[in-house]
Each structure stands twice: as structure tokens, then as C-alpha cells.
Homo-oligomer: A and B are copies of this chain.
Amino acid sequence: MPPSPIRKLVPFAEAAKKKGTIVYHLNIGQPDIETPKAVMEAVRDNHIRVLEYSHSAGNESYRKKLVEYYNRVGIHVNTDQIIVTTGASEAILFGFLACFDPEDEIIIPEPFYANYHAFAVSTGVKVVPVNSSIDTGFALPSIVEIEKMITPRTKAILICNPNNPTGYVYTEKEMLELRELIIRHNLYLFSDEAYREFCYEAKHFSAMYLKDVDNHVILIDSISKRYSACGARLGAFITKNKTVLDAIMKFAQARLSPPSFAQLAGEAAADLPEDYFNTTKTEYKKRRDLIVKRLNNIKGVVCANPGGAFYVIAKLPIDDCEEFCKWLLKDFSHNNQTVMLAPATGFYETKGLGKQEVRLAYVLNCDHINAAMDCLEKALEVYPGKR
């Protein structure tokens, strides 16, 4: 099991703070957006006498609310097709356990969310990366390239849409191409849509919109980012494939139930007025526009304009992103401030890729983003490993 590539830098950030340096955390997807009041009130106002196990698939009352939410975004499922999980993390773990045998292969466009690798290691599944590139804004690799990687052990393709770490939003055309591919090779399509509500231009095209592939498509979801409720630990595993659902239920029953308080929060979240996301999205879009502009104004920095989520990958004129990110915390400060970034190498399966790239999470307000970009700009002027 590899250590978390981001967490490795934490001791350096802690040391910097101990010295009195302000550290701007653009390294993790922990939003500063307030959790909706109605969501917190639902937990505060509970009248629970005995805090019992919930149903292993999650409370039916919560699954009913989820059905309504999904209906509103054009995803038509019923309560039996939803298994509530402890974060999207558990949904992915269950999916890997239920759909794969050890040594089976899953194709994932890289760079990808580093913990997919961790769940693959936990379940003996082999991750096969297909490279997506900053030059195309991290669009889906060509189907020809993906098809080249398919072996008799390939069981699934996994996408994250909108993507963490690239912010890319897959187009309808790309999704339809994937549909052909999963039919042709009889594969599962795992679609992690935790950032669904954060698309700034294009409309989100869910994998659940794909026609006549009900037995192939698996939706992974989470309320963490959608409602700024990461600490709730509430996700969902959704599919219309009855056999897969039956298998997932066995794993769900073994761990008894998802967290009860979080399900109260989730019910209230699903009831939020439809304009809730407008406010949040406007804020994130403003931040994206700012950070992309600031990045592109720095000499030698290249970055795409990502259409969703709250991440952007930038290519920097540096020797090695891991060294650079460590140096930012250890040896650099500007007006007693510095910035913490995520080295992109941690998101690539292929060794050697992403060495000049970093991921920035625009989860701070615009003043802090400006201050962080000032730091980055100054840092790139004096970094000894500049290229």
C-alpha cells in the first residue's frame, strides 16, 4: 500500500506554520463553503432516543429523497437501486470487491484521484492507466488508445466526471463513445460523479443517461462536495444491475450500516431549494476564472480552463513537482506566507509523468487565492530548480 502522495507533505506544512508562516491550502479538496444551515439543523433537531443501526442499504426515507434528487437531474432510479455508503470511498471499495476478482484489470484515464489506486491495492485489482494530456485539456484519451489497453482480464473502465484532479467535464460525444466501448467489450463503466453539480459551462452528462447499458453502468456518488459536507461521510452506490446490487448488499450487510446522523443531513440536503447550487456554483466559477487567469499570467505556466469540479492542473517551469512543493513549505515564504500544492505525480500511475505539474484546489476565497498566486509567482522567480 503506497502512502498518500499529498499527506507526505503535511509535516512540512506543520513545520512552516510553527515558524509563523501562513500556509494557503490549495492542496486538498476541502471547501471553505459553509455547510447549508438546513443540513446542520436537521442533525441538531433530531429526536433520536436510541441511535440504532440503520438499514444496511441506508434508511428508506433517505433513499426516497435521493430518488427525488436524482430525478431532478435526469437520473431515473428507484430506492432499490441505491445503496447508501460511508462516503464515495466505501462505494468504490464495495464496487471493486463485488465486480472484480483479484488480478482483474480496470482502465482509468490518468491523472486520476490517487485513492482509486489505494482501493485497487486493497482489493487486488490492477489499475491500467491511459494517458490524458494537459495539451488537450485532459479530454478523454481516444477510444483507440483505450481499446489498446483491453485484455481478457479487463472488467471495467472508471471515469470521474467532472474530473478530480483535472476539472475536465466529459462531453456527450465522449460518453457515447464510451458506451460503444463497454458494449463491445462487455465492461462495467464506473462513473464517479461527486462533482456533478459543479459544471460551469457545459451541462453535465451522467453515465446514467446512457441508453440500454443498465447492466454496465455503476454510479458512484457523495454528498461531501455537493453540500460542503465532507465530514458526514455519506456516499452512494447506484446501479440498475440486479446481480451487482445483490453482491454489494452482502458487503453492506457485513459492515452493518452507513452513519445515521449523516443520513439526517443527507435528507435535508436533498430537500434544499433548487437555487442552492447557483450560489455555490457562481462562487466556484469566480474562483476558477481568477485562478486560471492568475496562472496563465505567470511566465512559463500553462493551464487549461477546466469546465467543472474545483481543481485545475497547471504545468510549471520546474524540475520536479514533489521537490518544488516541499521547497515551497520548507524554504520559501513571501511576506511570511506560502502556498501548499499537490504534486501531480501522485495522480499518475505511470512513473515519470506529471513531474512538472501540480494540482490546485480552488477551495479558498478570492482574496486568499490572490495571495496564494502572489506566493506562487514570487516562488517561481527564485526557485533553484527552475527550468
Residues of A bordering B, CB below 8 Å:
1-4, 7, 30-35, 39-40, 43-46, 48-54, 56, 86-87, 89-90, 93, 97-98, 102, 115, 118-119, 122-124, 228-233, 247, 250-251, 253-262, 265
B86–A251 CB distance below 8 A:
no
State the CA gap A98–B123 with chains docked (Å): 12
CA distance A45 to B44 in the complex (A): 7
B251 lies within 8 A of A231 (CB): no
CB distance from A52 to the nearest CB of B (A): 5
Please tell me which one of the listed residues B52, B122, B250 contacts residue A2 in the complex, with CB atoms under 8 A apart: B250
Residue contact A89 to B256, C-beta cutoff 8 Å: yes
B254 touching A115, Cβ below 8 Å:
yes
- Residues of B within 8 Å of A259, CB to CB, are 86, 231-233, 259, 261-262
Chain B residues with CB below 8 A from A231, complex form: 48, 51-54, 257, 259-261
A254 to B4, CA, bound (A): 7
Q: Which of A123, A124, A260 has the most CB of B within 10 A?
A: A260
Q: Bound complex: CA of A260 vs CA of B260, how far in Å?
A: 11
Contact present for A250 and B52 (CB under 8 Å): no
Q: Could you tell me the distance between the alpha carbons of A30 and B55 in the complex, rounded to whole angstroms? A: 12
Nearest 10 CB-CB pairings of A with B: A231-B260, A118-B254, A261-B261, A89-B255, A51-B231, A259-B259, A4-B253, A233-B259, A35-B51, A1-B250
Give min CB distance, A268 to chain B, whole Å.
12
In the complex, which of the residues B1, B93, B230 contacts A51, with contact meaning CB atoms closer than 8 Å? B230
Give the shortest distance, in Å, between A334 (CB) and chain B (any CB).
27
Q: How far is the CB of A233 from chain B (nearest CB, A)?
A: 4
Give the complex CA separation of A258 and B90 in angstroms: 11
Taking CB atoms, residues of chain B closer than 8 Å to A228 are 50-51
Do B46 and A31 touch (CB < 8 A)?
A: no
B7 adjacent to A34 (CB under 8 Å):
no
Beta-carbon nearest neighbor of A246 in chain B: B3
Q: For the complex, what is the distance from the CA of A254 to the CA of B6, rounded to whole Å? A: 11
CB distance from A232 to the nearest CB of B (A): 6
Residue of B at shortest CB range from A116? B254
Q: What are 26 A-B pairs at a CB distance below 8 A?
A: A1-B250, A1-B254, A35-B48, A35-B49, A35-B50, A40-B46, A43-B46, A43-B261, A50-B228, A51-B229, A52-B231, A53-B231, A54-B231, A89-B254, A89-B256, A102-B124, A115-B254, A115-B255, A118-B254, A230-B256, A231-B257, A231-B260, A231-B261, A233-B258, A261-B262, A261-B265
A189 to B: closest C-beta gap in Å: 22
Which B residues lie within 8 Å of A32 (CB)? Answer: 50
Q: Give which listed residue, B34, B122, B250, B253, contacts A50 with CB less than 8 A.
A: B34
Q: Is the CB of A52 within 8 A of B254?
A: no
Set B43, B53, B233, B247: member contacting A86, Cβ < 8 A:
B233
Please tell me if the beta carbons of B250 and A4 are within 8 angstroms of each other in the complex.
Answer: yes
Contact call B254/A122, Cβ cutoff below 8 A:
yes
Sample of 4 more A-B contacts, CB < 8 Å, known A90-B255, A230-B257: A4-B254, A40-B46, A122-B254, A259-B261
- Of the residues B229, B250, B257, contact of A118 by C-beta under 8 Å: B250
CA separation between A33 and B118, bound complex, in Å?
39
A358 to chain B, nearest CB (A): 20
Which residues in B have their C-beta under 8 angstroms from that of A49?
Answer: 34-35
Which chain B residue lies CB-closest to A59?
B231
Complex CA distance for A352 and B112, rounded to whole angstroms: 48
Given A34-B49, A48-B40, A50-B32, residue A87 in contact with residue B255 (CB < 8 A)? yes
Report which residue of A32, A97, A251, A255 has the largest number of chain B beta carbons within 10 angstroms of its beta carbon: A255
